[in-house]
Amino acid sequence: MKVLYGVQATGNGHITRARVMAPALKQAGVDVDYLFSGRPADELFDMELFGDYQTRRGLTFYMGEGAKVKSWDTLTRNSLSTLIRDMKSLDVQSYDLILSDFEPVTAWAAKLRGKKSIGIAHQYAFMHKLPDGWRSLMLRLGVQIFAPVTIPVGVHWDHFNRTIVPPLISPPQYSRTIDEGLVLVYLPFETDETLIDWFASFTDYRFHVYSKRSFAHSINNVHFKPLSRAGFEQDLAACSGVFSNCGFGLASETMQYGKKFLTKPMQGQSEQRSNAILLDRLQLATVMDDFQPRDFQHWLEKPQPEPQLFQDVAGGLAKWIAGDCSEPASDVVRSIWGLSTGVPA
- pLDDT, tens only, 93-105: 999 999 999 999 9
Average pLDDT over residues 302-325: 94
Query: What CATH number is attached to the domain comprising 296?
Result: 3.40.50.2000
Nearest to 258 by CA among 152, 165, 176, 345: 176
For residue 118, is pLDDT > 70? yes
Q: In whole angstroms, give the CA distance from residue 341 to residue 345.
A: 13
Higher pLDDT, 262 or 145: 262
Please tell me the predicted confidence (pLDDT) of residue 62: 47
Please tell me the predicted confidence (pLDDT) of residue 345: 44
Q: In whole angstroms, give the CA distance from residue 233 to residue 208.
A: 12
CA Rg value for the chain: 20
306 part of a folded domain: no
Total Cβ atoms within 10 A of residue 200: 13
Q: In whole angstroms, give the CA distance from residue 10 to residue 65.
A: 17
Total Cβ atoms within 10 A of residue 73: 13
Q: 12-69: per-residue pLDDT in tens?
A: 889 999 999 999 999 999 999 999 998 888 888 889 999 999 999 876 654 455 545 4
CA angle 336, 115, 18 (to 5 degrees): 45
Q: In whole angstroms, give the CA distance from residue 98 to residue 96.
A: 7
Shared-domain flag, residues 328 and 282: no
Please tell me the predicted confidence (pLDDT) of residue 164: 96
Shared-domain flag, residues 10 and 103: yes
State the total domains in the chain. 2
Please tell me the predicted confidence (pLDDT) of residue 98: 98
Higher pLDDT, 103 or 138: 103
343 part of a folded domain: no
Shared-domain flag, residues 319 and 249: no
Please tell me the predicted confidence (pLDDT) of residue 5: 98
Classify residue 326 by its DSSP letter: -
Q: 225-271: per-residue pLDDT in tens?
A: 998 989 999 999 999 999 999 999 999 999 999 999 999 999 888 89
Please tell me the predicted confidence (pLDDT) of residue 135: 76
For residue 74, is pLDDT > 70? no
Q: In whole angstroms, give the CA distance from residue 136 to residue 194.
A: 32
Q: In whole angstroms, give the CA distance from residue 305 to residue 145.
A: 38
Nearest to 18 by CA among 229, 185, 237: 229
The phi-psi region of residue 51 (left if phi > 0; otherwise alpha if psi is between -120 and 50; otherwise beta) is left
Pairing type for strands 206-211 and 68-69 reads unpaired
Please tell me the predicted confidence (pLDDT) of residue 78: 62
305 part of a folded domain: no
342 part of a folded domain: no
Shared-domain flag, residues 197 and 126: no
326 part of a folded domain: yes
Q: Cβ(299)–Cβ(185) under 8 Å?
A: no
Task: Tell me whether residue 77 is exposed, middle or buried, using C-beta atoms within 10 angstroms of its C-beta: 0 to 12, 13 to 18, 19 or more.
Answer: exposed
Shared-domain flag, residues 161 and 186: no
222 part of a folded domain: yes
Question: Confidence band (pLDDT; 50, 70, 90) for 71?
Answer: very low
The rounded percent of the chain whose pLDDT value lies above 90 is 73
For residue 138, is pLDDT > 90? no
Nearest to 149 by CA among 185, 116, 186: 116
Average pLDDT value over all residues in the chain: 90
Q: In whole angstroms, give the CA distance from residue 237 to residue 38.
A: 29
Average pLDDT over residues 82-100: 93
CA 239 from centroid of its chain's CA atoms? 20
Please tell me the predicted confidence (pLDDT) of residue 72: 42
Shared-domain flag, residues 249 and 279: yes
Shared-domain flag, residues 160 and 34: yes
Shared-domain flag, residues 199 and 271: yes
Shared-domain flag, residues 139 and 203: no
Shared-domain flag, residues 150 and 202: no
Shared-domain flag, residues 231 and 132: no
Please tell me the predicted confidence (pLDDT) of residue 67: 46
Give residue 226's domain range.
182-300
Q: Cβ(233)–Cβ(227) under 8 Å?
A: no
Average pLDDT over residues 189-209: 97
344 part of a folded domain: no
Shared-domain flag, residues 40 and 109: yes
For residue 131, is pLDDT > 80? yes
Please tell me the predicted confidence (pLDDT) of residue 61: 57
CA angle 263, 74, 88 (to 5 degrees): 115
